[in-house]
Structure 1
Amino acid sequence: MDAVKTSTLSKRWRHLWALVPDLQFSCSDFPKRSVFMEFVRRACALRDGSFIRAFSLSCDDVIGSVSYIKKLITSFVATCGVGDLRLFLGNLGRAYKLPSSIFTCGALETLHVQSHCTVRLPSSLRLSSLKVLDLKGVTFEDNALMEKLFSSPSLEKLGIWDCKWRECKSVGIFAPKLRHLSIRNLPGRRNNFSYPRQVHINGDCLEYFHCWGMLNHEYCIQGGTAQLVEAKLMIFPCRRRDGIVMARNSKLLPLVSNVKELTLFNTLLKDVAKRNDVQPPFRNLIKLTLVGEIHSVAVKGLFVILRRSPRLQSLHCEEELRYHRVNGVHGLLNPLPSCFLTELKEISVFVGCRNCPKKQLFMALIFLERAVALEKLNVQLKG
C-alpha cells in the first residue's frame, strides 16, 4: 500500500508501481470503508494485469462490496497467477460463494481465507503447487471434493478453524506431504464440525498435530507416526455420559505417543487417571505442557503420564496445580517416575496467592523432595 501512495508523488514513479509484486490492503489504515474500497479499486486498476506474487485483503466490513471483491479475486487469479492469496473479510451480511477459479490456479502456493463464505469446488481441481491451506469460518458444500482438496499432492500445512460441514460420517485428509495439521472447533462457535464423525489422516510425514475443541469425533492417523514431533490436544469436556467420549480420549493419546513435545488440556488428564491401563509409553517425550487448572484427579493422571515418560526433561503448568496432603501421595509416588531420578531438570508451576496457596505449594514441595535430577523449579504467583 505504501508503494501505491508514493506513485502519486511523482510522475517518474508512477510506472514503477507496476513492478511491486506484493499487494497488502488493510481497512484499519482508513477512516471509512468506502474510502478504503475506492483506494483498493484504483490501486488494482494501476496494475493493468501485471504479475502479482502475493495479494492480501483485510476488511472487517465489506457489505455492499462483495461482488466487486469476487471480481477482483477472479481477475487476479486468472490474469496474474498469484502465488499467495490471503482474504480476511468480515460483516458480509450473508454468506457468499468463494470464486471457484481460486481452486484452478496452478501457481497458487498459499491460501488463507477467514470469512463467512461457502466453498464450492470445481470438479477439476488444479492445485499442484498448493503448500499452505488455512480456512477459518467457511462452509464446505461438497465433502467429496473437499477431501480431494485436503489430499493435494504438494500440501504441507493445513488449518481447519471453526468451519461448517454438511453432515457426513467421515472426513479424509490424505495429502502425501502433510507436515502440519491444525483443527479447531471451539464450543459456542457457529460450526458443525463437532458433529460425530471420523477424521482419517495420513500421518506418514506429519510432524505437528494441533487439535482444539470438543472430542465428538474420532481421529484416525493412518500410516506411521515416526516423524511426529509436537502435539497439542486441547480437548474440552463433552456432555455425553455413555462412555463413548472417554473411549475416544483413550484412542487419541496412542496416536501421539512418539512426540517430543506434548500439550494437554486438563480434561484428558482426568480420563487418563480413570483409564490407567490403556495409556501408551511416551519414550521420546522431552517437554510436557499442561493447560487448565490441574486438581486432584487430574494430578493422578499427570503422574500416570510421568511414569510412562522416562526421558522427560521439562514440565510446564500454565495454570494452578493443586493437590492436598489429605489425598495422600502413595498412589502418586508408587512407583516413582524414573524421569525424577535421571532426566527431569526443569519444572514450572503457578500458585494462586489468594486461593489456598498451601495446597498448591504442596506439589512444588513434592517435586523438590522427589525429583532428584531437578535443576530449576519456577514458582510463579498468580493474583
Structure 2
Amino acid sequence: MDESSSFNHTDEDSTKKLMEEEIDKISGLSDPVLHHILSFLPTKYSVRTSILSSRWRHLWASVPTLRFDQKDFIVKPHFMDFVEGVLFLRDWSLPVRKVRLRCYDGAEFFRTTTWIRVLSRRSGLQELDLGAHPSPLDLHALPAELFWLNSLVKLKLNLHCHCSLVVPSVIHLNNLKSLHLKWVQFDDDQSVARLLSGCPQLEELIIEECNRVPLHNIVISGRFLKKFTMIETTNDEDDYDYYEDEVHGCMLTIDAPNLVVLNCCIEMPPAVIVGRLPCMEAADINLKSHNRDDNYCHMICELLKGVCETKVLRLSNSSMEEFEYHSKGYTKGYTGADEDKR
C-alpha cells in the first residue's frame, strides 16, 4: 500500500468516526431534553427508541407525555396489551404531565376506565385528552378519581354515542383552566351545575355536540370564565324536525361577568338568558330554527341586549344576513353592502 492509499484510508476512518460522533450527539443530550423530544411522538414509537442503544433503553419509561391511539394498531388486543404494558413498566418516580388516549373499542371501555383510574391516582397529571367509544348501554362511569385531580389544568372528554357523564357528588378540579366536552350527555341540570362549581378557576369551556335531553336549563356560570363555546350540528335535513323536538324545552343561561369570547351555534332554545357581559370583546352567534316566528325575533333581540357591550358581533343564520357590531354601533353587512352604512 503506497502512502497515498494509506492517507486516504486514514482520512476515511477519521471522517467516518467524525460522522458517527456527529450523529450520536443527540444521545449526549440530557434526559429532560430527550424526554421533551420523545413527548412529541406517539408512545408506540417512543418505546421503539429503546433498541437504539443502552443510552435509550429506558428513556421511554420516564417520558412525561403519553400518547396512545388505537388506530396505530392493526389488532385491537395488541393495543390494549400495549397500554397496560407501558403503565406497568413505567418509571412512576417521575410524574406523567400529559395524556392523550384514543380508544375506539366500546367492548373494552371498562379497561379504559381502569387506565384512567391508574393515571388519576398518580400526582402531577396536568392535561388529559380522552377519546372513547363506549357502548350507549355501557353502565361503566368514569372513575371518581378523575374529578379529584387538583393538578389537572386541561381536560377534554370525547365520549361518542352521547355517553352519559356521571358526575360525582364531590368535585375538586380546583386548578382546571380548560374544559372541553364532546358527545357527552348529562343526567340532569344539577350535574352540570355541580361540575362547573367544582372548577372554580375555569377560564375556557367548550360544549360540543352534547345532548341537551333531558336537561331543562343549562346554566353556564363562572367568575373567571373568559371563553365559552357551544356547538351543535345537524347533518341530515330529514332529521332536523326530530332534532328540533328533541332539544326543545332546554333553556340556556349565561352568567359569566368576565366573559370575553362567546361562540354559540345551536338549535334555538325556548329562551336564552344572558347576564351583563361588560368584558365581552367578540361574539359569534348562530341560533338555528326552521320556525322564525315572533318568539324567534324576540329571543334574538333579548340576546343582542345581553351582548350589547361587545366590540365585534357576528350574527348568522341560514335565512339571515351577517352583522358586524362595533363599539360605535353596528354595520349591516352583506355582499355589495356599503361599508359606511350605519
TM-score (norm 1): 0.66
With over 3 angstroms needed to count, the CA separation of the structure-2 counterparts of 1:118 and 1:98, relative to structure 1, is farther
Distance in 2, matches of 1:204 and 1:244, equals: 26
Q: Are positions 1:239 and 2:286 aligned together? A: no
How far residue 178 of structure 1 moved from its aligned partner, in angstroms, is 0.2
Structure 1 residue identity aligned to 2:59: L
CA contact (8 A) 2:109 2:134 kept: no
How far residue 236 of structure 1 moved from its aligned partner, in angstroms, is 1.5
With over 3 angstroms needed to count, the CA separation of the structure-2 counterparts of 1:57 and 1:193, relative to structure 1, is farther
Find the partner of 2:121 among 72, 78, 99. 78
CA contact (8 A) 2:169 2:194 kept: no
SS in 2 for 1:163: coil
With over 3 angstroms needed to count, the CA separation of the structure-2 counterparts of 1:118 and 1:168, relative to structure 1, is closer
Distance in 2, matches of 1:63 and 1:197, equals: 29
With over 3 angstroms needed to count, the CA separation of the structure-2 counterparts of 1:234 and 1:32, relative to structure 1, is farther
Find the partner of 1:176 among 220, 223, 226. 223
With over 3 angstroms needed to count, the CA separation of the structure-2 counterparts of 1:3 and 1:271, relative to structure 1, is closer
Distance in 2, matches of 1:103 and 1:123, equals: 10
The within-5 A match list for 1:206-285 is 206-222=259-275, 224-239=276-291, 241=293, 243-267=294-318, 269=320, 282-284=325-327
The within-5 A match list for 1:300-311 is 308-309=329-330
Cross-structure match for 1:51: 95
Find the partner of 1:109 among 153, 160, 177. 153
Residue identity (%): 25
Distance in 2, matches of 1:13 and 1:176, equals: 47
Cross-structure match for 1:202: 255
How far residue 101 of structure 1 moved from its aligned partner, in angstroms, is 1.7
Structure 1 residue identity aligned to 2:290: C
Cross-structure match for 1:127: 173
Distance in 2, matches of 1:14 and 1:118, equals: 42
CA contact (8 A) 1:185 1:191 kept: no
How far residue 11 of structure 1 moved from its aligned partner, in angstroms, is 4.1
Cross-structure match for 2:192: 146
Structure 1 residue identity aligned to 2:277: T
Structure 1 residue identity aligned to 2:205: L
Cross-structure match for 2:66: 23
With over 3 angstroms needed to count, the CA separation of the structure-2 counterparts of 1:99 and 1:165, relative to structure 1, is farther
CA contact (8 A) 1:246 1:271 kept: no
What is the count of residue pairs matched by the alignment? 287
Distance in 2, matches of 1:82 and 1:155, equals: 17
With over 3 angstroms needed to count, the CA separation of the structure-2 counterparts of 1:72 and 1:13, relative to structure 1, is same
How far residue 246 of structure 1 moved from its aligned partner, in angstroms, is 2.5
How far residue 170 of structure 1 moved from its aligned partner, in angstroms, is 2.0
How far residue 191 of structure 1 moved from its aligned partner, in angstroms, is 9.8
CA contact (8 A) 2:200 2:223 kept: yes
With over 3 angstroms needed to count, the CA separation of the structure-2 counterparts of 1:10 and 1:39, relative to structure 1, is farther
Distance in 2, matches of 1:128 and 1:39, equals: 32
Distance in 1, matches of 2:288 and 2:142, equals: 31
How far residue 56 of structure 1 moved from its aligned partner, in angstroms, is 0.5
TM-score (norm 2): 0.74
With over 3 angstroms needed to count, the CA separation of the structure-2 counterparts of 1:57 and 1:192, relative to structure 1, is farther
- Note the alpha carbon deviations across 1:185-232, whole angstroms, 9 max, x for none: 32359798833233222231101111112112422222x322111111
With over 3 angstroms needed to count, the CA separation of the structure-2 counterparts of 1:271 and 1:198, relative to structure 1, is farther
CA contact (8 A) 1:105 1:126 kept: yes
Q: Which of 1 and 2 has greater Rg?
A: 2
With over 3 angstroms needed to count, the CA separation of the structure-2 counterparts of 1:239 and 1:32, relative to structure 1, is farther
- Note the alpha carbon deviations across 1:116-135, whole angstroms, 9 max, x for none: 32211221111111111110
With over 3 angstroms needed to count, the CA separation of the structure-2 counterparts of 1:249 and 1:212, relative to structure 1, is same
Cross-structure match for 1:346: none
CA contact (8 A) 1:225 1:255 kept: yes
Q: Unaligned regions of 5+ residues in structure 2, if any?
A: 1-42
Distance in 1, matches of 2:153 and 2:184, equals: 19
